[in-house]
Amino acid sequence: MRRARLQGAPAPERIFLRNKITAAALSLALFALLSAGCGSVSIAIKDYDYGEMRLVQLEELYEGQPVAVITTTLGVVKVALYPQYAPNTVGNFIERAEEGYYDGKKVLVIFNQLYFLSGVDNEEAGEGGKTTDGKPIVNEYSVNLWPFKGALLSCGDRQGEGDSRFFIVNSDEFGEAEVEALREVKKDGKQMFPDEFLYAFAEKGGVFEFSGRYTVYGQTVEGIDVVEAICAAEVDETTRKPVTDIVIEKIELEYYTEE
């Protein structure tokens, strides 16, 4: 993996380049993060009540649950949204979708097949995002939402806040070695991450590095093959932009109903 700092890199790329670690060092690195606070980086997972955790992304959709239908030039991705856990982020996303803000937006960055990013306000400059009141949205962390493969996350100009910009994650390496490393992370002298969660992450995949750093507010329920195809697209090695434009043609909302 390239380690050089990329100028103008979006927030998730900066985090990943700065903090990417091997499985062998994972528990030690997390211990340092949780103990020292990691400077200006907020890592919410240290404050989660894991006894109350529900892995809602792995559950069936509920009646009336909002679903974003993201039509791209490579296919359609359907993403279930979770307004009960991230009301401000979901509300802003829905408002932007309903006003047509995302229509015609490009996939601006694809990073190492791990995620793709869109929803940037000034695509030429590669910066900026939109909210209803013009102010960034403070991250809405939840023990129930994690950066599993296909998760929808928000980001902004600074760590700890978001706006219209979103990224959908593919999957990094996460197997038995990572599970065993994370089992060694303790909170109040006890294993911090429940086995159920760790093995679910190993089975579903995702990018654990983003846990507790960004608002997770949706989960792909259809079209994961499209997410994979977008993340696998050829990119410029310097800018990480797709060589061939990939466009968000439109984002529409529907509401789940049992048939």
Q: Which residues on adjacent β-strands are paired with residue 242?
A: 235
Segment 69-127, tens digit of pLDDT:
999 999 999 999 999 999 999 999 999 999 999 999 999 999 999 999 999 988 887 78
Number of neighbouring beta carbons within 10 Å of residue 95:
14
Give residue 126's pLDDT. 79
Q: Is the pLDDT of residue 201 over 90?
A: yes
Which is it for strands 66-72 and 216-222: parallel, antiparallel or unpaired?
Answer: unpaired
Specify whether the backbone of 38 is left (phi greater than 0), alpha (psi in -120 to 50) or beta: left
Task: Specify the pLDDT at position 131.
Answer: 97
**Is residue 7 pLDDT above 60, yes or no?**
no
**Mean pLDDT (the chain, rounded):** 86
In the prediction, which pLDDT does 31 show?
45
In this structure, which amino acid lies at residue 58?
L
Reported as a pLDDT band with limits 50, 70 and 90, residue 186 is confident
Could you count the other beta carbons within 10 Å of the beta carbon of residue 174? Answer: 23
Of 24-38, 66-80, 184-198, the one with minimum mean pLDDT is 24-38
Virtual CA dihedral for 165, 168, 174, 175, nearest 10 degrees? 160
Q: Is the pLDDT of residue 224 over 90?
A: yes
Domain spans of the chain, in order of start: 42-255
* Confidence band for 6, pLDDT divided at 50, 70 and 90: very low
**pLDDT at 18 exceeding the cut of 50:** no
Q: Provide the pLDDT for residue 1.
A: 31
- The per-residue DSSP string of 207-224 comes to -GGGTTTS-EEEEEEE-H
How buried is 173 (Cβ within 10 angstroms: 0-12 exposed, 13-18 middle, 19+ buried)? exposed
Instruction: Identify the band that residue 53 occupies on the pLDDT scale cut at 50, 70 and 90.
Output: very high
The single-letter DSSP state of residue 243 is S
Q: Which percentage of the chain shows pLDDT scores above 70?
A: 83
Q: What percentage of the chain reaches a pLDDT higher than 90?
A: 71
List alpha helices for 10-141, DSSP H. 11-19, 23-36, 87-98
Q: Is the pLDDT of residue 12 over 90?
A: no
Question: What per-residue confidence (pLDDT) applies to 123?
Answer: 84
What architecture is domain 42-255?
Answer: Beta Barrel (2.40)
